[in-house]
Structure 1
Amino acid sequence: MKTSFLRPLLEAAVLLMVLLGGLRWVLGLFSRNTHVYQPTAGRQLRLAFWSALALGCGLSVVPAVALKDEPANKLEWVLAAGFGAVVLALGGPALLLHLRYWRLNQATAVVFQPQENRLEVYEAGQRIPFAQRDLRRVERVTCSARHSFWASYDYLRLHLADGRVITLTSLLTNLEPLTQFLRSTPTDRRSVAWCWV
């Protein structure tokens, strides 16, 4: 019973990964280098892959114990629940961050061309008007837990002179080149264990 339930799911996951990898390779042949960064399916998959895989594999133990032919004893339930709790503690925070970042930047696009001294931020298709001289402070927050599932989640906040704050997350792109581009603006760098915005 357990293998008849899990095998189609694993086959579908492998097929989806192969299809997405092939599609990315084919699109990479015909695409040109872009300077527009926005949340894409590939970027989201790259960030959330290991945490989603861990949660999917780890939490499948509890239904497997519940659906097996003979009733499970207490030890099996304790082991399954403990394993599920550990996997949830490891992968859950990364998926929470992913959902939070997606909510913040789902409609955000960044046009970044350092050679042309160009940085533009669009929210829902509308350009947020600001120039580099309008920036009062840049806040760069990175993750100090380098070996966790949420290590690649970080963010950058642009504090403008008029009080507005623009938040750019790692769901858009790698933020380090953008931070280097804004090095003439006072930058506060912090490293925290979990980069919640």
Structure 2
Amino acid sequence: MKLSFLRPLLEAAVVLLLVLGAARWVSGLFSKRTQVYQTTAARQLRLLFWPLLALGAGLSVLPAVAMGNQPASGFEWALTGGFVLFTLLLSGPALLLHLRYWTLNHDTTLVFQPADNRFEVYEAGLRLPFARRDLARIEGVTCRARRTFWAKYDYLRLHLVDGRVIVLTSLLTELEPLASFLRSVPTERRAVYWCWV
């Protein structure tokens, strides 16, 4: 078979993932839980797993049809194009949201320790100067399309008294505990089909 070299690579990747996962689990047993949230690769992979899997399934059909033993017919190309288009429609919105959220929060660090009443936001390593009393209102937007790949993408907009707006997205962490922590601030909650900021 032409692609016989892929099997050892895939086996090595699976073994590497299992070893890294086990090492992370063991180190998590002995480490103190961090209260600092950033856009980590693990969080991004958790959000992007199903969209990337769908996209990979759709795009994997193209080489099979293009490099087959016999030339593909027009009908086979139409079916392939339809399948690729379908998977793009499934995964495309989640990929766009992910890219948008990443551009908003890739330099953002959230320090959130509710037990110590600590809530700080840093942009590019610099602390944004505000206190809890400086929050005028909070806008919490969640996705109402629960059975889609982009359902876990939501955001909070913190409107400050001086007019500044701080956007915290689900790339940083789950936002519901943060919204509960700030429940004393007037909060407007909305559910939309697609949570574009």
Give the TM interval when normalised to the shorter protein.
over 0.9
Which residue of structure 1 aligns with residue 47 of structure 2?
47
1:23 Cα deviation (Å)? 3.6
Once the two structures are aligned, what percentage of the paired residues are identical? 69
1:26 Cα deviation (Å)? 2.9
CA distance in 2, matches of 1:83, 1:8: 29
Aligned residues: 197
CA distance in 1, matches of 2:61, 2:120: 47
Which residue of structure 2 aligns with residue 95 of structure 1?
95
Which residue of structure 1 aligns with residue 146 of structure 2?
146
Cα deviation, 1:121-172, whole Å, max 9, x if unaligned, reads 0111110010111000100000001010111010001000111100000000
1:193 and 2:161 matched: no
The answer to whether the 8 Å contact 1:2/1:64 transfers is no
Write the letter of the residue equivalent to 1:147: R
CA distance in 1, matches of 2:78, 2:8: 27
Which residue of structure 2 aligns with residue 115 of structure 1?
115
Which residue of structure 2 aligns with residue 173 of structure 1?
173
TM-score (norm 1): 0.92
1:24 and 2:24 matched: yes
Matched position secondary structure for 2:33: coil
* Alpha-carbon distance change, 5 to 140 in structure 1, aligned in 2, over 3 angstroms: farther
Which residue of structure 1 aligns with residue 161 of structure 2?
161
Which residue of structure 1 aligns with residue 66 of structure 2?
66
Pick which of 138-147 and 19-28 moved more: 19-28
CA distance in 1, matches of 2:88, 2:16: 24
Matched position secondary structure for 1:69: coil
Runs of 4+ deviating beyond 6 Å: none
Write the letter of the residue equivalent to 1:181: F
CA distance in 2, matches of 1:11, 1:81: 30
1:125 and 2:125 matched: yes
CA distance in 2, matches of 1:84, 1:16: 30
Q: Where does the alignment leave 5 or more consecutive residues of structure 2 unmatched?
A: none
TM-score (norm 2): 0.92
1:14 Cα deviation (Å)? 3.5
CA distance in 2, matches of 1:112, 1:162: 22
The answer to whether the 8 Å contact 1:2/1:67 transfers is no
Q: Where does the alignment leave 5 or more consecutive residues of structure 1 unmatched?
A: none
